[in-house]
Structure 1
Amino acid sequence: MSLKLILALSLFVCMTFSLAKDQSHPLARGRKRGVGPKRARKQTSITTLQQGRLPESNGQDGSIFIESYKNTKEPKPDYEATAGKSEHCVFRGITMYDKTVWSPKPCVNCLCSSGEVVCDQILCPALQCQLKFQRIGECCPICIDPVVDAPEYSGDSPVPNDLAEPFTGISQSQKDRQKKDEQERIRKKDADRKQRKKQKKEEAERQRKLKEVKDAREKEEQQRRVREEEEERAAAEERKRRMEEQRKAEEDRARRQEMEQKEMMRALEEAAERAQEGLRGDEATEDEDVVLLRGDVFQMPPVPPTRAASPLLLAPQEPTEPDEEDTEPGEEEPEVVEEESEMVTTLLPQGCSISDVTISCENAKLTGIPPLSIPELKSLSLQGNEIKTIPAGAFNGIPNLEWIDLGKNKILSSGIDPQAFKGLKFLSRLYMDGNLLEQIPSELPPTLQELKINENNLKEIEENSFEGLSSLVTLEMEGNLLSEGHVNPQAFKPLKELTYLRLSRNHFRTIPQGLPASLLELYLENNLIEDISETAFNHTTNINVVVLRHNKLDESSIAPFTWINHRKLESIDLSHNNFYLVPSFLPKSLVHLVLVGNQIERIPGYVFAHMEPGLEYLYLSYNKLDGDAVEPESFLGTFNTMTELCLDHNQLTSIPMGINEMTTLHFLRLNNNKIRHVSEDAICDPLNYDDSHLVALRLENNFLDPRKISPTAFSCVRSYSSVVLKPQRIK
């Protein structure tokens, strides 16, 4: 039976018994109402309990408070015997028999002992849980989650409230243990607080050090920027000063040159007048050397060219005195002729012009190299003349030339003296396009970096054709009669620095052998190439660009391992060949692929999937792609890299699959096809919420009705004005 039921029954029995006794003993009721010392103490105890206060043990108010009476031996109350033998207790108007136990409120048990009310407060054990719950009618809370480090229960320690009997108390050992646990908890809490305080201090110190380091770096960076700005300012001022000095020097030189030219013209006029006078005065002197100036004819005077004055120093030199043994004292004519000769050598042929250190004689109808004596000259253009030969010593008077253009003349290989370019120690560029050369000129300067022999009659490249040209970077031999059988495999071996080679418009059927390892760009368009072997590019591991347009290649002409493993080959142009499929085994590093003007009908699946990082530019215009040309996996590997895609001038009937997955596509051309419908997600992925990426979209000349296109079909285009839909073909 529960505690409440026992207490209720006890109270009911006591009240019944008390009423019966009062009715049978009226004197007892009157005596009980009397006021005595015991009665006063009982009232005080009752008043105290009614006010909700539990007085401590003082023995003066009629009730005492004991710490615990659990361990005292209490006999079971015998209500019948107690009623007649012992004094009763009155609690809140209710008479309690001696030894009666009741609970006036939770966690308080009271005992009627010899007429006094003795109450004991139940102490609840300390709980180590996070979540606590106190049941209705019970004094102590309980844990509703697993208890951490809960104290063990022994025979003398209190049990949980839901199992405790009304007389359960807490033993001294339990209190000591609780006190010890509380002290340990407080100690741990203090230790944790100290640890946190220490960590905060360390963190603050670390932040302070980081701030100091950051401030020091910022200060150093600021000082570096200031220093760089000062250096840049100083460099700019220095450049400005040098430019100003150079400008002044140029102005002085131009002014001096103008004065010298005027002086030269004046001296020339005087010399011509004296010559005319001499001719009129003595017609018999036909054997005398006469200098004639007739249009484009530029004859050398009898005086050696080394004595001629430079156009940059045009002031007439003092005539040398004639030898006394050869000239009579009164004879002055040789002096006049010598001065006249010196002046003539400074003139340029008709149609030539000079600018600073450059002379241009383009289309001047020259038949030979003009004899110039200008050591300061750097560039000479003789393009578009009728020059046939280059004799030895043709450039002796201009040894510092860096660039010579002999294009569009009539120079033959047999007309070039082996020593013609021997003395040019600084020559870096030589252009001989549009002549009649059949062989590479020999004994070219080792300083040469650029050689152009386009549009000639070259038929053969021998082993020693480029001997000594270790500095050559650019070589162009387009529009000749070369073929793979007439190019020695060892011919390119001396070209250690060659990076740019043009062999277009020749008669090659395969890739020429022996290409230098340094080669970066190879141009072989407009040849007859119909086969590319696996070893064609074995030695050119650094090659970056290969152009093979306008040849006779198809998908079976390229060996599988021709270039698939080339890590630097980024651009291939295979336009205007005979491809029916996009070729497989393309280089892994390919970025730019041009297949315009073929017969391509299909883009096989996974053809681009092996590329790293991926193809960016794909041009498939003017082919035969139709509705079945694109497979679901055709563009796999390009979704995150494709930037430009040209599929115009084909036979497509719908938007190819995979275009809406290209997140980096900027330019898309689908014009001049047979497209009749554009679905909502064909070009733009509706699930992609990133910023618009398409910059230009062309769909004109199809069979589209713009009114039937969904407004969201072009949501990924940055501007609707960039979408070209008109005109469309009439259905």
Structure 2
Amino acid sequence: MPYCPPDCSCNLDGTVDCGGVDLKEFPRNLSESILHLSLQNNALEVIPMEELSRLQNLETFNLQNNRLTSKGLPDDAFCSLENLLYLYLANNKLTVAPKYLPKTLVSADVAANYLTKIYPLTFGQKPNLRSIYLHNNKLTDAGLPDHMFNGSDGVGILIMSSNFLKYVPKNLPKELFRLHLKDNKLEKIPKGAFDHLSKLRELYLHNNYITNDGIDNETFWKLSSLEYLDLSSNNLTQIPRGLPRNIVLLHLEKNAIKSIPGSWLTQIKNLEYLLLHNNKIKAKAIHPLAFKGLKKLHTFHLYNNMLERIPSGLPRRVKTLMLLHNQITEISRNDFAYSYFLIELNLSYNKLTSPKIHPEAFRKMRLLESLDFSGNNLNVVPSGLPKNLHVLRLKENEINSIPDGSLSGMTKLKELFLSNNKLKLNSIYPGAWKQLTNLQLLDLSGNQLSYVPTDLPESLEYIYLQNNQISVISENAFESTPNIKGIFLRDNRLTTSRVKEIAFEKLKFLQVLDMGAYSESATESKKDGGTSGDNLENDSEQATQNDK
């Protein structure tokens, strides 16, 4: 057995692991036959040449998370490692990259240092090099040689995020398939910078300063294999023209885009995800034919824009449509007339009122499972809701009535959120809950209910009734819900004499009963503020949570 340093583990396959053993000096007298050496998570500051030069068979060398400085790492420190394939130097204190790295390298990780300079032979002339990690450093354009990848055309992954680059590096390797340049200072992309990257599949450019003037109509056009493009959090005022047709996921959120022209997206035939949230788009600035022919587009985010109505010409096959946090005031009869495939529709936090929602607006939505109207100005539950809904959110409105039949036929509904409205028991039509034969969660917290609703469905598992005006729990209050798991009654007007404990004794599956504090009088209960008490299981965080 070759010599093994104290506190390290050594295997017969040539692996020496000295990770996290508080080394302050490089281990001496290591066997020349070592293939894999891990010195990560220590306190090394210097790598002695005389020790390192003996390890000519080394294939993997892990030095990440130490205290190495460029002074403690000689320029030719790794030159003798003629078989080295993987080098890990991340999370040290290097200010310049190693001047020479072995030609045999396959992967080099120098992330999370203080690098300001790369040399031509740091990554150049490495025919086997496939991945380079340089993120979280202090690199500027001046610190990069023009031909830093010369002779290393096989590099497929290049991560240079979180530096100080203003321009895309020159002469990128032609085999790149993943390029990360996010969180830099990029203002423009030089003409032809990507023209030779025909194999690039993923391009990350988010959180820079790119404007429409900094790119042209051909900047991305020759990226024929590009599937993922992230231009979010830049300074774009328009969707870039000339986007390649094979993009699957397009991030354009958090810009200042104001319109969607008629033909700028239609050539992207493979587009599946279009993310345009947090921009300045108005409905009238979306061309009716903007999404024509995009048969694969199924997820469309337009939230946090300036939409005053439902845009016309929505993608025909969209399944997830996010329109929350806009200024929509009305839903007309034909706004969703061609949205046959919608599964999830979010219209929360707009300016919708009940009279402005056409009762036949959802007639074609036979696949819709989730509908969110939270945070609007509704005063009644809208009529004509899709019968196939699984989740319906109507919380934080002004709802004071559930009209006769508005929930009838919704036998697939599993979760119904009506919290923070103005509902009273006499404002809910008789038998409303019993019709919801698959309902598992009912949230009626923050309303004006005076007792536990009757005729709750047998399928119910969780009921939220906190912050109402309930003053009595009768012995048969939960007789119709034998499968109930959670009952939340905190912050009501309950007193000891009006709570019949027999109401809970037959509930075999009950896991949480949260009633907060209740006392001999309603006055004392309110004085306590519902912050402590004899509840069977006090879970205040869950009691105040509106969503399951």
- Relative to the length of structure 2, the TM-score reads 0.69
Secondary structure in structure 2 of the residue aligned to 1:485? helix
Which one has more relative contact order, counting CA pairs under 8 Å at least 6 apart?
2
CA spacing shift, 1:681–1:312, aligned 2, 3 Å: same
Kindly indicate whether the alpha-carbon contact (under 8 Å) linking 2:155 and 2:173 is maintained by their aligned counterparts in 1: no
Structure 2: how far apart are the matches of 1:485 and 1:584? 28
CA spacing shift, 1:395–1:342, aligned 2, 3 Å: closer
Structure 2 match to 1:538: 337
Q: 1:511 and 2:310 equivalent? A: yes
Structure 2 match to 1:652: 449
1:676 Cα offset (Å): 0.2
Structure 2: runs of 5 or more not aligned: 1-35, 37-56, 62-81, 89-96, 103-113, 131-144, 519-524, 528-548
Q: Please state which structure has a larger fraction of its residues in helix.
A: 1
Kindly indicate whether the alpha-carbon contact (under 8 Å) linking 1:457 and 1:481 is maintained by their aligned counterparts in 2: yes
Amino acid at match of 1:425: S
Residues 43-102 of structure 1 show CA distances to partners (whole Å, capped at 9, x for unaligned) of xxxxxxxxxxxxxxxxxxxxxxxxxxxxxxxxxxxxxxxxxxxxxxxxxxxxxxxxxxxx
Structure 2 match to 1:446: 245
Secondary structure in structure 1 of the residue aligned to 2:333? coil
1:679 Cα offset (Å): 1.3
Structure 2 match to 1:70: none
CA spacing shift, 1:725–1:356, aligned 2, 3 Å: farther
Structure 2 match to 1:643: 440
Structure 2: how far apart are the matches of 1:701 and 1:558? 34
Secondary structure in structure 1 of the residue aligned to 2:84? helix
Report matched runs for 1:542-621 at 5 Å.
542-611=341-410, 613-621=411-419
1:564 Cα offset (Å): 3.2
Q: 1:482 and 2:272 equivalent? A: no
Structure 1 match to 2:10: none
Report matched runs for 1:456-467 at 5 Å.
456-467=255-266
CA spacing shift, 1:449–1:583, aligned 2, 3 Å: same
CA spacing shift, 1:602–1:259, aligned 2, 3 Å: closer
1:362 Cα offset (Å): 2.0
Structure 2 match to 1:137: none
CA spacing shift, 1:390–1:257, aligned 2, 3 Å: farther
Structure 1 match to 2:507: 717
Q: 1:375 and 2:174 equivalent? A: yes
Structure 1: how far apart are the matches of 2:440 and 2:494? 25
Q: 1:673 and 2:460 equivalent? A: no
Report matched runs for 1:262-281 at 5 Å.
none
CA spacing shift, 1:432–1:342, aligned 2, 3 Å: closer
Structure 2: how far apart are the matches of 1:630 and 1:666? 21
Structure 1 match to 2:491: 701
CA spacing shift, 1:415–1:311, aligned 2, 3 Å: farther
Coordinate RMSD, CA, aligned: 3.3
Structure 2: how far apart are the matches of 1:561 and 1:342? 63
- Relative to the length of structure 1, the TM-score reads 0.52
- Which one has a bigger Cα radius of gyration? 1
Structure 2 match to 1:491: 290
CA spacing shift, 1:295–1:715, aligned 2, 3 Å: closer
Kindly indicate whether the alpha-carbon contact (under 8 Å) linking 2:188 and 2:215 is maintained by their aligned counterparts in 1: yes
Structure 1: how far apart are the matches of 2:126 and 2:172? 6
Secondary structure in structure 2 of the residue aligned to 1:628? helix
Structure 2: how far apart are the matches of 1:347 and 1:366? 23
Report matched runs for 1:222-371 at 5 Å.
258=84, 296=116, 309-310=125-126, 312-313=128-129, 344-345=148-149, 357-371=156-170
CA spacing shift, 1:646–1:397, aligned 2, 3 Å: same
Structure 2 match to 1:622: 420
Structure 2 match to 1:407: 206
Amino acid at match of 1:730: K
Q: How many residues in Structure 1 have an aligned counterpart in Structure 2?
A: 412
Structure 1: how far apart are the matches of 2:396 and 2:407? 20
Structure 1 match to 2:532: none
Kindly indicate whether the alpha-carbon contact (under 8 Å) linking 2:165 and 2:185 is maintained by their aligned counterparts in 1: yes
CA spacing shift, 1:645–1:424, aligned 2, 3 Å: same
Sequence identity of aligned pairs in percent? 28
Amino acid at match of 2:246: T
1:588 Cα offset (Å): 1.8
Report matched runs for 1:8-407 at 5 Å.
258=84, 296=116, 309-310=125-126, 312-313=128-129, 344-345=148-149, 357-396=156-195, 398-407=197-206
CA spacing shift, 1:267–1:642, aligned 2, 3 Å: closer
Structure 1: how far apart are the matches of 2:272 and 2:386? 25
Kindly indicate whether the alpha-carbon contact (under 8 Å) linking 1:457 and 1:480 is maintained by their aligned counterparts in 2: yes
Structure 1: how far apart are the matches of 2:163 and 2:452? 59
Structure 1: how far apart are the matches of 2:379 and 2:100? 76
Structure 2: how far apart are the matches of 1:360 and 1:720? 51
Amino acid at match of 2:526: I
Kindly indicate whether the alpha-carbon contact (under 8 Å) linking 1:478 and 1:504 is maintained by their aligned counterparts in 2: yes
Structure 2 match to 1:96: none
CA spacing shift, 1:530–1:680, aligned 2, 3 Å: same
Residues 380-433 of structure 1 show CA distances to partners (whole Å, capped at 9, x for unaligned) of 221111111112321246432211111111111121122222332221100111
Structure 1 match to 2:224: 425
Kindly indicate whether the alpha-carbon contact (under 8 Å) linking 2:446 and 2:468 is maintained by their aligned counterparts in 1: yes
Secondary structure in structure 2 of the residue aligned to 1:444? coil
Secondary structure in structure 1 of the residue aligned to 2:321? strand
Structure 1: how far apart are the matches of 2:358 and 2:146? 68
Secondary structure in structure 2 of the residue aligned to 1:730? helix
Kindly indicate whether the alpha-carbon contact (under 8 Å) linking 1:569 and 1:589 is maintained by their aligned counterparts in 2: yes
Structure 1 match to 2:545: none
Kindly indicate whether the alpha-carbon contact (under 8 Å) linking 1:693 and 1:716 is maintained by their aligned counterparts in 2: no
1:308 Cα offset (Å): 6.0
1:709 Cα offset (Å): 2.4
Structure 2: how far apart are the matches of 1:257 and 1:550? 61
Structure 1: how far apart are the matches of 2:459 and 2:486? 13
Residues 342-389 of structure 1 show CA distances to partners (whole Å, capped at 9, x for unaligned) of 9744599xxxxxx98432222201101012533343222211111111
Kindly indicate whether the alpha-carbon contact (under 8 Å) linking 1:268 and 1:343 is maintained by their aligned counterparts in 2: no
Structure 2 match to 1:730: 526
Structure 2: how far apart are the matches of 1:577 and 1:261? 56
CA spacing shift, 1:678–1:462, aligned 2, 3 Å: same
Amino acid at match of 1:621: S
